[in-house]
Structure 1
Amino acid sequence: MTSEPIRVAIADDQQLVRLGLRMVLDAQPDIDVVAEAEDGEEAVAIARSTDLDVLLMDVRMPRLDGIGATERIVAHGPRPGILVLTTFDLDEYAFAALRAGASGFLLKDALPSDLLTAIRAVHAGDAVLAPSVTRRMIAQFAASAPAAPRPSAALATLTPREREVFAAIAEGLTNDEIAERFFLAPSTVKTHIGRLLQKLDARDRVQLVILAYEAGVVGG
Structure 2
Amino acid sequence: MAEIRVLLVDDDPLVRSALAHFLTREEGTTVVAEAGDGRDALDQVGRHRPDVVLMDVRMPRMDGIDATAQIAQRWPDVRVLAVTTFDTVDTVLPMLHAGASGYLLKDSPAEEIVAGVRRVHEGTTSLSPRIAALLVEHVRERERPTSAASPDLEPLTDREGDILRCLARGMSNAEIAAELIVSEGTVKAYLGRIMTKWGVRDRVQIIVAAARAGLIAFT
Residue 145 of structure 2 contacts residue 217 of structure 2 at CA under 8 Å; is this kept in 1?
no
Pairing partner for 1:49 from 41, 47, 50 = 47
Partner of 1:117: 115
The alpha carbon displacement at 1:21 in A equals 0.6
CA distance in 2, matches of 1:131, 1:151: 31
Q: Give the match's secondary structure for 1:154.
A: coil
1:55 maps to amino acid:
V
Describe the superposition over 1:97-151 as per-residue Cα deviations: whole angstroms up to 9, x where unpaired.
1110011111111112111111112222222235663342143355556999952
Count the aligned residue pairs. 215
Structure 1 stretch 13-22 or stretch 143-152: which is displaced more? 143-152
Instruction: Decide whether the 8 Å contact of 1:48 with 1:73 is kept in 2.
Output: no
Map 1:42-81 → 2, pairs under 5 A: 42-81=40-79
Higher alpha-carbon deviation: 86-95 or 60-69: 86-95
SS at match of 2:107: coil
CA distance in 1, matches of 2:177, 2:97: 27
- Secondary structure in 2 aligned to 1:79? coil
Judged with a 3 Å threshold, the aligned counterparts in structure 2 of structure 1 residues 86 and 143 are, in CA distance, closer, same or farther, namely farther
Distance 1:93 1:30 in 2: 31
User: What is the aligned partner in structure 1 of residue 5 from structure 2?
Assistant: 7
Alpha-carbon distance between aligned partners in 1 of 2:153 and 2:205, rounded to the nearest angstrom: 17
User: Bigger shift: 141-150 or 47-56?
Assistant: 141-150
* Kept after mapping to 1: 8 A contact 2:101/2:124: yes
Moved more, 86-95 or 114-123: 86-95
Match of 1:185 in 2: 182
The partner residue of 1:203 within 195, 198, 201 is 201
| Stretches of structure 1 lacking an aligned partner (at least 5 in a row) | none
Give the match's secondary structure for 1:119. helix
Contact 2:51–2:78 at 8 Å: present in 1 too?
Answer: yes
Partner residue, 2:37: 39
Q: Distance in 1 between matches of 2:114 and 2:167?
A: 23
What are the ranges of 5 or more consecutive residues in structure 2 without an aligned counterpart? none
Q: Verify: 1:97 aligned to 2:84, yes or no.
A: no
Counterpart contact for 1:86–1:94, Cα < 8 Å:
no
| Aligned-residue CA RMSD (Å) | 2.7
Quick one: which of 166, 169, 173 aligns to 1:168? Answer: 166
Aligned equivalent of 1:152: 152
Verify the 8 A CA contact 1:11 1:37 in the aligned structure 2. yes
How far apart are the structure 2 equivalents of 1:59 and 1:132? 17
- For residues 207 and 153 of structure 1, the distance between their equivalents in structure 2, rounded to whole angstroms, comes to 13
- 2:213 — aligned with what? 215
Task: Report the AA paired with residue 196 of structure 1.
Answer: I
Alpha-carbon distance in structure 1 between the residues aligned to 2:94 and 2:214: 19
Q: TM-score, normalised by structure 1?
A: 0.83
* Distance in 2, Cα, partners of 1:168 & 1:6: 28
Residue by residue over 1:41-65, the C-alpha shift from the partner in whole angstroms, topping out at 9 and shown as x without a partner, is 1112211222211110000111111
TM-score (norm 2): 0.84
